[in-house]
Amino acid sequence: MTEQFPVKIIARIHSDFPSKFGIPRQSGLVQELRATIVFEPEYRDPQALRGLEDFSHLWLIWQFSQAVRENWSPTVRPPKLGGNTRMGVFATRSPFRPNPIGLSSVKLEGIEKHPKYGWVLRVSGADLMDGTPILDIKPYLPYTDSHPEATGGFTDELHLHPLQVVIPEEWMERIPSDQRQALIGVLGHDPRPSYQEDPERVYGFVFGKQEIRFTVRDHVLTVCEVREDTPQK
């Protein structure tokens, strides 16, 4: 008989990514990204945070809320392998898994009291979409969680070279000053699927309150438009 146990949503994260496109593929790749963790009402007891301020980093356990499905496949196609090579699902961090659960390491920037939501966590380096359900939070322990000698399987063969990012001044001025470095970091890590190499194609995603549109040619990403995002009704 399969054992069942309840999993509760304890919090949700608020980030600058209202959709999946553009989100860094791993946590910590863009440390300039800022996000806020807001606890659900029943978990806003400040006693639950006692001692957390002494840790620099946290593990977030969360739900791939946009990838919940009834069936699962034993193999998936990692985007970084071109979208054609299949690997075992447990050898990847694909959201399409038997249980759609993600794990991210983030830096704790501060604990603040919000006038409406009580105590919230300010974090950096998160790779989560706005509104993502948080299932648990655990402290990162460097003496046991850090393994400098670890190998990365097929990812060791992937040489990640950030793109050169060009944002003309007219578009840079439309980006809030406190979001510019984070956006440059996101763009530099190439939001496109790795199997798309059309230099004429214009890509776009929403970051904060702006829609960012760009092209990529010869390893140079050029922003060609920044406009206010108009939420669909």
Task: State residue 185 phi and psi, 5-degree precision.
Answer: -65, -40
Q: Residue 164 and residue 182: Cα distance in Å, rounded?
A: 14
DSSP letter at 198 equals -
**What pLDDT, on the 0 to 100 scale, is given for residue 96?**
86
List, in order, residues 6 or more apart from 169 with CB less than 8 Å away.
none
pLDDT value of residue 1? 52
pTM assigned to the model: 0.90
Determine the 3-state secondary structure of 180 from DSSP: helix
Looking at residue 2, its pLDDT comes to: 63
Number of CB atoms found within 10 A of residue 198's CB: 11
Residue 174, burial from CB neighbour count under 10 angstroms (0-12, 13-18, 19+): middle
How far apart, in whole angstroms, are the C-alpha atoms of residue 164 and residue 220? 5
3-state secondary structure of 153: helix
Domains of the chain are 11-65+100-145 (2.40.30.70), 155-228 (3.30.2310.20)
pLDDT in tens, the chain (233 residues): 567 788 999 999 999 999 999 999 899 999 999 999 999 999 999 999 999 999 999 999 999 987 677 788 899 888 777 777 899 999 988 888 899 999 999 999 999 999 999 999 999 999 999 999 999 999 999 999 999 999 988 888 776 778 999 999 999 999 999 999 999 999 999 988 766 778 899 999 999 999 999 999 999 999 999 998 766 54
pLDDT value at residue 82: 72
The residue behind tokens 């922003």 is 223
What is the spatial distance between Cα 28 and Cα 107, in angstroms, rounded to a whole number?
Answer: 8
Separation CA 92–CA 155 (nearest Å): 9
Q: DSSP letter at 182?
A: H
What is the Cα–Cα distance from 85 to 64, expressed in whole angstroms?
A: 22
